[in-house]
Amino acid sequence: MGLYINGDYEDIYQTDETVDDNNQVIYFHNRTTERLKEQTQFNESVEKHVAEIKSSTDRQHVLNMQKWQEFETEYRRLLTKLAAISEENERLAKQVTAYMERQEEITNQLAIDKNRMKGLEKRVEEQEAMTAKVVRQLDHFRSVLYERTNYLAEKVEEATASIIRFLKNEPYTSSTKEKEKAIR
């Protein structure tokens, strides 16, 4: 047990430990006052916590508002970008549609040209066949003409020789015919 000592008495023993008990003989204990003090401390603690929570809530509200404004700004920017992309997609879709229509026209034209080419090939083949036939007929006609010309030439020579002999009054013999061939 320790003593309560004022600072003027330095020669009295004083302990450094904490005193657990009251060294008063008479002790008056007022529970109401103690409860009021505890309640006051509790209220101050609650007010302090409420103030901290309010401050934290206000900071969070400000941060949320800033984030919300950033979100709205980003959202508007994205909407604008999406609108631009949508317009670009529509323009590209129109171009693709135009290209596809043009491709279909070209495909149709190629089909028509292919049919025409088949017709031309058929006509060329027919023309080649006709040309070959005409060439064969001309060859045949040439050979026939050569034979006939040769035959007529021989007949004309014979007739000419007969006329010359007749005019000279020579009789016609086979030796005369050989002489005529030798002259040629």
User: 0.75 exceeded by the pTM?
Assistant: no
pLDDT the model gives residue 174: 57
Residue 15 belongs to some domain of the structure: no
Residue 13 belongs to some domain of the structure: no
Residue 96 belongs to some domain of the structure: yes
**Number of structural domains found in the chain:** 1
What is the spatial distance between Cα 107 and Cα 103, in angstroms, rounded to a whole number? 6
**Residues 6+ away with beta carbon under 8 Å from 161:** 172, 176, 177, 180
What is the spatial distance between Cα 44 and Cα 51, in angstroms, rounded to a whole number? 10
Q: At what angle do helices 31-168 and 174-183 cross, to 10 degrees?
A: 130
**Which whole number is the average pLDDT over 25-43?**
83
**Which whole number is the average pLDDT over 64-93?**
94
Strand ranges for the chain from DSSP E: none
Q: Token pair for residue 125? A: 């083949």
Residue 141 belongs to some domain of the structure: yes
Residue 21 belongs to some domain of the structure: no
pLDDT the model gives residue 30: 80
Range of the domain at 135: 31-183
Supply the mean pLDDT for the chain: 85
Residue 131 belongs to some domain of the structure: yes
